[in-house]
Structure 1
Amino acid sequence: MKKKLKKILKKKLRKKLKKIRKHLCPKPPPPSVIAQFLYVSNYSANRVDIFDIFNNPTNPVRVGQFNGGNLHGAAGMAITDTTLYVANQSSNTVAIYDITNPIAPVHVGQFNSGNLSGPTGIAITGTTLYVSNQSSNTAAIYDITNPRAPVHVGQFNSGNLHGPCAMAITGTTLYITNVVSDTVAIYNITNPIAPVHVGQFNGANLVGPDGVAITGTTLYVANQNNSTAAIYDITNPNAPVHVRQFNGNLDTPATMAIAGTTLYVANEAGTVAIYDITNPINPVPVRVFGAGEFNLPYGLVVYTVFG
C-alpha cells in the first residue's frame, strides 16, 4: 500500500514540476517574418532586379537592381544567411554579394578556381554549395564555412548529368535537371561532399527540363521546350510519381522559386508567372509581371528576413 502511495505521489510531483518548469522557462516564440524579397536575374542584361513581396506576394513591387560590372550572363542564384551567390554563365564565375541590406547588395567577391564551366544552377545545404556546370556536364562542390571564401572540395557526374541546369534539395536528396537528356537526376547527399547517384526520372513528361522547385512533398519541373510544368509527388524522394502538368502563362519557362503558397516561374520570353499553390497539385495562375522590364529573366530566389 505504501509503495503504491509513493508511486502516485511521485507521479503528481513530476507533473507539478513540469508545470513549474514550463512557467519559468517558456519556449521562445518562433521568429517572425519582417520582410521578403524576390530577386530576378536577367541573363541578357547582366543584372539582378529586386522586388518587395512581403505585403502581397502576388503583386511584386520593384525596389532596386544591381550589377556593378560583376555580372556576366547572370543565371541561377542561392542564399545563405546574408550572402547571395549569382552564377555568371558567360564568365565561368560565381559572384558573391552581402545582402545585409536586401535592397542594396554589396559585391564582396567571386570564385571559380578553374572548376566552373558554364555555371548555371546553385543549391545550398548547410555549409555545402553545389554549382551545376552546363558546359562540362558536371557539378562542383564547395565548402562555404566561410560564405565569402568558398573552397572547392570536389565535383561529380558519374555519367548522369547532361546539360545540368537547376537544382533543388529536400532533406538529404538533391535533384538536378538535365535539359539535354530530358531527365532529372537524383542524388543522395547524406554526405554532402560525396553525392551518390540513386536514380533519375522522366516518364515522358519532361521536355527540356530547366527549373525545379519543392514545397513539402511536391516537386515542380519547368519544361522549357514545350512551355509546361510537371508536378511530381515526392513522398518517396527517390521515386517521384508524376501527378499532372500545367501551363497557363508559361512561355519558355526557366527557373522557379517558392514563397509560402506562391510559386514564381521565370519565362525566358520576358516575364515572371505567378501561381497560387495553396493546393500544391493544382496551381492556379494569378498573373504575369515584368513585361518590358526583363531581358531574358532566368534565375529566381526568395530572401526572407526574420526579426
Structure 2
Amino acid sequence: MDVMDEKKMMTRNVEDGPWTGCAVLFLNSCPTVNLLSLYKDQQGKFMVFKVVKLTLTDSSGGLEGYEILKVHDADPLLGVEVKFVDVAACRRFLESYVSGAVLQSLSQHASRLLPGSQDVAMEIQLKAGMYTLDFCLDDLDLCLKHIHQSQPGRLRDDEIAELEQQLQSQALGHVPQPPTLTQEETPLPSNCFLFQKKVFEDRMLAAGDLQRFSNGVGRDWRKVGRALGKNCRALKGPAIDNLAYEYEREGLYEQAYQLLSRFIQAEGRAARLGRLVRALEDTKLTSLAENILDIQPQE
C-alpha cells in the first residue's frame, strides 16, 4: 500500500461512523488585557467565556459540532478544552484555524466585549494530546487523526455548565421554571420540554442522570436503548446487543450506564434530558422519568 492509499484509508476511518475528539486551544493576549487574570475575576469570567464561545461557533459553523469541557489555568495562557462531536465541524474549525479566521474572530470579539481591549493582540496555539497541531497544519487529515485519538477524559465542568446556562439565559431573557402549563400560556420555549403537563428545561444530560437511570432501569435498558436509537446512529444495528455481551459480567447497572454514556458521547450537545424522558415514556417507564426529574409523588 503506497502513501496515498494509506492516507485515503486513514481519512475514511476518521470520518466513518460516530466521531468524537478533543483538542485544547491555548490563548494569550497583550499585556493590557490578561485573559487569564480576567477569567479568574468573577465578573470577567463570563465575558471571556462569551468571547471563546462566539469564536468557536464562528469557526466550526454552528453550535452543534463542539462542546467546551473546561477552561483552565495554563499560566500565562488560558487553556480551553474542546470536545468535537462532528468530524465536519472539526474540519471546518481546523480550516478556519489555518486561514487565520479563528485568530481574527477571537480578536474581534475580544475587542468588542472585553473592557479596555480595543485592537487587542492575541496569540493562539492548538494541541491534541501530546501533539502541537501548529506544526502539522499543512496536513489536516493528520490533525484530525490526532484530535480523534485524543478522546475527552472528563464530562463538562460544572462551571462551564453554569456559564453556558448564563449565556443562554442572556440570549432568551430567562429560563422558565417548571410551572403547570395551561392553554392560556405562551407556546413552549425551544429550550424546554413538556412532561405530565409541566415544563422542564431541556438541559444536557449530567452525571446524576446517568446514575439514576442506571440504578432504576433494570432489564429494560435495552428497550430504552432501542427508543433512543431511533434518532441516534451510535445505538442502531447490533450496538445494543454488543453492549449487552461486552458488559454481561458487570451486570445490569453497568450495561445501562454504558448505554447512556455511549448516547452522550455520540450525540454531544444534542444528548439532552428531553430525549431521555421521551424514550422512557415510549417504553412505559414514567416512574423512572419522574425519579430523574425529581418529581415528588403526590400524597
Superposition TM-score tier, normalisation by shorter sequence = under 0.3
Of Structure 1 and Structure 2, which has the larger fraction of its residues in strand?
A: 1
* TM-score normalised per structure 1: 0.22
**Structure number with higher relative contact order (C-alpha < 8 Å, ≥ 6 residues apart):** 2
TM-score (ref. length: structure 2): 0.22
Higher helix share: 2
